[in-house]
Structure 1
Amino acid sequence: MKKLLSFIWMLCLLIPASAEDGSRLWLRYTTDGQANVTCNRQSPIVDAAAAELRKGWKGAPVALTLIRNKETRALGEEGFRLSTSDEGRKISITSAGERGLLYGAFHLLRLQETGADWARLDIKESPAYDLRILNHWDNLDRSVERGYAGRSLWEWDALPSTLSDRYAEYARANASIGINGTVINNVNASSRILSAEYLEKVKALADIFRPYGIRVYLSINFASPMQLGGLPTADPLDKQVIAWWKEKAREIYRLIPDFGGFLVKANSEGQPGPCDFGRSHAEGANMLADAVKPYKGIIMWRAFVYSPSDADRAKQAYLEFQPLDGQFRNNVIVQIKNGPVDFQPREPYSPLFGAMPATAQMVEFQITQEYLGFSYHLAYLAPMWKEFFNFVPHASLKAMAGVANIGTDTNWCGHHFAQSNWYAFGRLAWNPELSSEAIADEWLAQTFFNARNQQHIPAAHKVRQMMMQSREAVVDYMMPIGLHHLFAWGHHYGPEPWCAIPGARPDWLPSYYHKADKEGVGFDRSRNGSNATAQYPDSLRRLYDDIRTCPDEYLLWFHHAPWQHVMQSGRTVWDELCHRYDRGVQQVRNFQKIWAETEEFIDAERFEAVQSRLSIQARDAVWWKDACLLYFMEYSDMRIPYDIERPIHRLDDLKRVKLPIGNHECPTEQMLNERR
């Protein structure tokens, strides 16, 4: 048997790479397997697990066993044990729950595709969080807010009668990395999603997702009782409003018995909420929690709030939510963005984490690259998320959510490497202790490189190094040493530190954050400024509050530093900015060289697609570097050091670049055409 398997693998290694479009994601194992799979129980989920193994597993017979004993109960309904016996001639996957068998099956296939030795296995796995969920910012017109991979997957006009093949493939991909929930509509929600017409459409999606262990959740508009139900108020303490939500919950659960619950964006960026009626976030969340509690539903209440006030925007979520600690029902989870402002390429963690010990909390990451170059820039985000977990213990959280980067593009995510962020999110939601490097290795082995081909290994290692450096490179060429929110108005793609829109809120404009003047640059959040440092634990408060000890990467986040201030790097603030911007440009150019070396190992279609994206990224990096350094130079009145590459643009020319808001078609190409 082992000789036959070795011969099969050798044949696979000799087959040349063929053109691919990325539609198979990391699930590229051949489907010509004829594995012997037995099950002691049949159900849609167990059948899906068995079918996956029969298609893709090339090894010994596999037994899927649903059993409730002391060992499996300790692993939980989604945990599993994967073991081999009889010198590798038998494989067993056991679990107390059907989803555990599904995750075990996908894990076994992952081991096969990453070149692991499956002859002697004894693996026990359980997810860190019961809820591992994607948030889709998809609108009912199929546009996607902050989405850069085409239109929404959900064909609302065709549902429920016509079902796209991609729905099952989407669910299968999520199940393969342990994601078990999906919020299918935008947090800026239309109340129509709760209408009878749309609930039938949601049911059709839920029926497809269910065999892959995925529950459906909905974002709701808090004013739905008024907009959809015709009530005069949405006051969460009003008896008619309470009755309306309870009836709506009954209606939903009759259609979708395993419906997960609601995600709510309230009193944020113009969205209605309980504060409109003089009620607190806790009172609004609890009313909804009571409506779904009989069905074991949950409420995910977002803490992304900021009011038109004089308070530092970075402080506002803490100020509004921390006093509410202990007031939320036990089926409410407060969903908090990883940083205190808004998904910037680098932020310190939000101090709200850990500040509400009596309240369940979950972190919200952004997988889609709203502030990291859309799907035109390579930015592997696992190191960014691991950075968050360096400060926030994963055990202190109840769940993990990610804003999805998925659309109708053939390769799902717009950029082939953007698939790695979807993959990394799922793997970290399952196990936050996995290293960024290990996840990258897994993804590369399943997506681009044959893990059993020794010739592929050096190239895979170089590409993994490129991935590991990519997010830091983006920080360098966009907003190094704590700069943030220097983006162009509306679309957040290119640089516009000079942006000034008459009548706009100050905290929507870059100058609110960089505060550049003749003396220096940066936002003073020390005790002498907004005192945002006081929201952090004492050890970090002292570290961040002192400009002499504040880490370089957060310096301009917490301090208005003089241009001549000497940083821990030994350079002045101005020189460090120049060197960081230049380093980011050089790194992206080096990525182009690394990728060029992989050409013989990658199919031509995907190789050329990634090469094209890296070319755009390299041009964008220069655009960012020139725009920011030329702009800040007007304040610093200092020269760019001689060893830094000279700007190739003029600041006046860059200030005339105006990209249409909502245009996601290669902004750099449009900019270059306009300048011609």
Structure 2
Amino acid sequence: MRHIKFLYIIFLLSLISCGSADTGNAAKGTISWLPYASTDKGQVCVDEGISSPTIDIACRELRGHWDGAPVNIHRTTDGDAIGKNGFAISQSDSQVDIYAPDDLGILYGVYALLRNPELGRDGRVEESPFYDLRLLNHWDNLNGTIERGYAGKSLWKWEELPDSVSPRYEEYARANAAIGINGAVLNNVNASPKILSEEYLKKVAVLADIFRPYGIKVYLSVNFASPMVLDSLPTADPLNPEVVKWWTGKADEIYSLIPDFGGFLVKANSEGQPGPMDFGRTHADGANMLAEALKPHDGVVMWRAFVYSPADADRAKQAYLEFQPLDGKFADNVIIQIKNGPVDFQPREPYSPLFSAMAQTDVMAEFQITQEYLGHANHLAYLAPMWTEFFDYVQPFDAIAGVANIGDDDNWTGHPLAQANWYAFGRLAWNPQLTSTQIADEWLSMALVDKARTPEDVYESLLGMFDTSREAVVDYMMPLGLHHLFAFGHHYGPEPWCDVEGARPDWLPKYYHRADSIGLGFDRSPSGSNAVGQYPEPLRSQLASVETCPEEFLLWFHHVPWSHRMKSGNTLWEELCIAYQRGVEKVEEYQQTWEKAEPYISPELYADVETRLATQLKDAKWWRDACLQYFAQYSKMPIPAEIASEMRPLEELMKIHLPITNYKSPTPALLDSLR
């Protein structure tokens, strides 16, 4: 409980001012699940012969932040039982014992004990990570911007490195180690070849040195045409001997600077990025060439499956069509990185069928922690329920990555409650069997309120607010399987009518919702694009029928008549109206929950989130009003009077155009002035 108290006090002093330039408060910049207040009381005894920079960190954390019984650290030879990087903890009133087969396991055990001071009191507890690779993908550009980033500029100050080192770099490593994340891809998948220049590799090496004792390897996104850009080779053909030689030499150069470099992440032949198909080769040809260069150094290639051609075929089928025929043709140090859904990080998607189709190839899941499609930094959307929903369908796979929501804002993540998503990703990457409620309970009790001093009804309301927030976003944005109704480019706000001259059809909402006088939704049944055919049985048959398809995916897989009777007895149109209104009402409920919690939350944090919830409510009504009125033109059915009476006219809503970019989130003030 003392641990919770000091985290609570520190958090109340921090995570407050998004983007503030004020650095006078020493507590600003803290990460919500880390201990900061020092006790200088922790007693630690380390078995003879155990020594390393990682062990030094573990002991420093205990001596500075543990005020329980003395802790004994043991190296165990029982590694097969505990697992690589795993640990065991047992404790009594007189001592705590941490066992691990390796130094990193000891560090993870220390952070687990600090997170839960009662761990192991009821008997020996053993944990080990479910995935060997648990990575953050940073979409950070070398100029400091972050693609789909809503928390300020990049954490990496490339212009200052290698000579000037921010203390935030180590704090970042500490935060990730505390939740089991063990890798970081530092730069955008739309990669600049410049990252592989000698100048930048020396900067990367400085970060690698800082991260290493915390068990975090660095990885780089690479541009497939780098040999042509950096050294003027006439081609980047992966079967060309000079290209192979170039990448082999580049790998040797990297490992001479960073001996534990993790490897490359590659976005190729997607959205204009160069790749092996530009030279008549396959994804396997390109990935295997890079894998061969990295293999002597134990490096890996993570090759993204986010591809879609400009053809008329269903975009949701593209990754499967390009990659499934290549199953078994990739080198053993290649991992295919697949987005959790088949389109693009929508608030709800079915799982990508490619996960079920690569039996002879290592695959990894790619989640998006940053809220590109979930209200940027303005909406509360706790994403663990989205990810646990995915795990209900897909297990096992080989590694996991999350597109980071981290920037240089004082609170690290833009929305002060969005640190919960960074935390939840790390916890689920360590143990995907955890529930979203368990993780929310952990985070709330460490980061937001003192659970013991908060009335039970208030605490449970906060917990419920977190756990239902993603579903609320689905309801007021795109219920029942609707998807990609966003404004063009920046993906903030509704534009189901969007029609941009010259844009590809699959960049526009009408491609996905296909509203007409008959009904709504994308027909992916056997009579339509037959995307259901990419799923294994019995799921394939379940999805193929309007009657058996789960209703949360109904409009994803079917074009459904407006008068279709749902399980509730309502028509599709009535159910759509109910869902949009339910989403609005949930945000109103969150405002009430937050108001009741005010006495237990710092004034600054309370005011910040209060403002964001007000923005979220206005946005929820904006989505409801725009989508229902737009679709009503096709359904020819009435919107319930109690909803319609407060709607803004569709003509007015269609005139809204937000002057924002991919790299910034609209502020509440900007939204109020334009919306």
**What is the TM-score of this pair, normalised by structure 2?**
0.95
**How far is 1:119 from its partner?**
4.1
Map Cα deviations across residues 287-306 of structure 1 (whole Å, 9 max, x no partner).
Answer: 00000000100000000000
The answer as to 2:97 corresponding to 1:103 is no
* 2:643 alignment partner, SS class: coil
**How far is 1:149 from its partner?**
0.4
Q: Distance in 2 between matches of 1:90 and 1:478?
A: 52
Q: Distance in 2 between matches of 1:359 and 1:562?
A: 40
**How far is 1:383 from its partner?**
0.5
1:619–1:668 Cα contact (<8 Å) kept: no
Q: Distance in 1 between matches of 2:140 and 2:666?
A: 21
Q: Determine which of 64, 68, 76 is the counterpart of 1:59.
A: 68
Map Cα deviations across residues 153-190 of structure 1 (whole Å, 9 max, x no partner).
Answer: 00000000000010000000000000000000000000
1:39–1:64 Cα contact (<8 Å) kept: yes
1:76–1:97 Cα contact (<8 Å) kept: no
Q: Which amino acid aligns with 1:134?
A: L
1:307–1:316 Cα contact (<8 Å) kept: yes
Q: Determine which of 142, 164, 167 is the counterpart of 2:166.
A: 164
> Which residue of 2 is the match for residue 184 of structure 1?
186
> Which residue of 1 is the match for residue 429 of structure 2?
429
2:89–2:120 Cα contact (<8 Å) kept: no
Q: Which amino acid aligns with 1:642?
A: A
Q: Determine which of 79, 83, 100 is the counterpart of 1:76.
A: 83
The answer as to 2:503 corresponding to 1:504 is yes
Q: Which amino acid aligns with 1:21?
A: L
> Which residue of 2 is the match for residue 304 of structure 1?
306
Q: Which amino acid aligns with 1:79?
A: G
Q: Distance in 1 between matches of 2:226 and 2:563?
A: 55
Change (3 A) 1:156 1:15: closer
Q: Distance in 1 between matches of 2:656 and 2:40?
A: 54
> Which residue of 1 is the match for residue 350 of structure 2?
348
**How far is 1:117 from its partner?**
6.4
Map Cα deviations across residues 179-207 of structure 1 (whole Å, 9 max, x no partner).
Answer: 00000000000000000000000000001
Q: Determine which of 196, 203, 210 is the counterpart of 1:194.
A: 196
**How far is 1:459 from its partner?**
2.3
Q: Which residues of 2 match residues 331-370 of structure 1 at below 5 A?
A: 331-370=333-372
Q: Distance in 2 between matches of 1:226 and 1:339?
A: 33
1:582–1:645 Cα contact (<8 Å) kept: no
* 2:538 alignment partner, SS class: helix
2:327–2:359 Cα contact (<8 Å) kept: yes
Change (3 A) 1:201 1:14: closer
The answer as to 2:41 corresponding to 1:31 is no
Map Cα deviations across residues 574-593 of structure 1 (whole Å, 9 max, x no partner).
Answer: 11111000000000010010
Q: Which amino acid aligns with 1:107?
A: A
Aligned residue-pair number:
659
Runs of at least 5 residues in structure 2 that lack an aligned partner in the other structure: 17-28
* 1:364 alignment partner, SS class: strand
- Please say which of residues 142-151 and 58-67 is displaced more in the overlay: 58-67
Change (3 A) 1:669 1:517: farther
Q: Distance in 1 between matches of 2:9 and 2:437?
A: 28
Q: Which amino acid aligns with 1:73?
A: D
Q: Which amino acid aligns with 1:51?
A: R
> Which residue of 2 is the match for residue 236 of structure 1?
238
Change (3 A) 1:276 1:16: closer
1:236–1:287 Cα contact (<8 Å) kept: yes
Q: Distance in 1 between matches of 2:437 and 2:577?
A: 29
**What is the TM-score of this pair, normalised by structure 1?**
0.95
> Which residue of 2 is the match for residue 3 of structure 1?
none
Map Cα deviations across residues 522-581 of structure 1 (whole Å, 9 max, x no partner).
Answer: 111011110101111121111111112111111111111111111222211111111000
* 1:484 alignment partner, SS class: coil
> Which residue of 1 is the match for residue 592 of structure 2?
593
Change (3 A) 1:80 1:669: same
Q: Which amino acid aligns with 2:542?
A: L
1:139–1:186 Cα contact (<8 Å) kept: yes
> Which residue of 2 is the match for residue 373 of structure 1?
375
Q: Distance in 1 between matches of 2:191 and 2:123?
A: 46
> Which residue of 2 is the match for residue 154 of structure 1?
156
1:184–1:216 Cα contact (<8 Å) kept: yes
Q: Distance in 1 between matches of 2:362 and 2:459?
A: 40
Change (3 A) 1:234 1:332: same
Q: Which amino acid aligns with 2:426?
A: G
Q: Distance in 2 between matches of 1:339 and 1:164?
A: 36
**How far is 1:671 from its partner?**
3.8
**How far is 1:74 from its partner?**
2.6
Q: Distance in 2 between matches of 1:15 and 1:179?
A: 26
The answer as to 2:95 corresponding to 1:90 is yes
> Which residue of 1 is the match for residue 23 of structure 2?
none
* 1:353 alignment partner, SS class: helix
**How far is 1:211 from its partner?**
1.2
Runs of 4+ deviating beyond 6 Å: 8-17
* 1:299 alignment partner, SS class: strand
**How far is 1:9 from its partner?**
8.6
Sequence identity of aligned pairs in percent? 58
- Please say which of residues 318-327 and 116-125 is displaced more in the overlay: 116-125
**How far is 1:13 from its partner?**
12
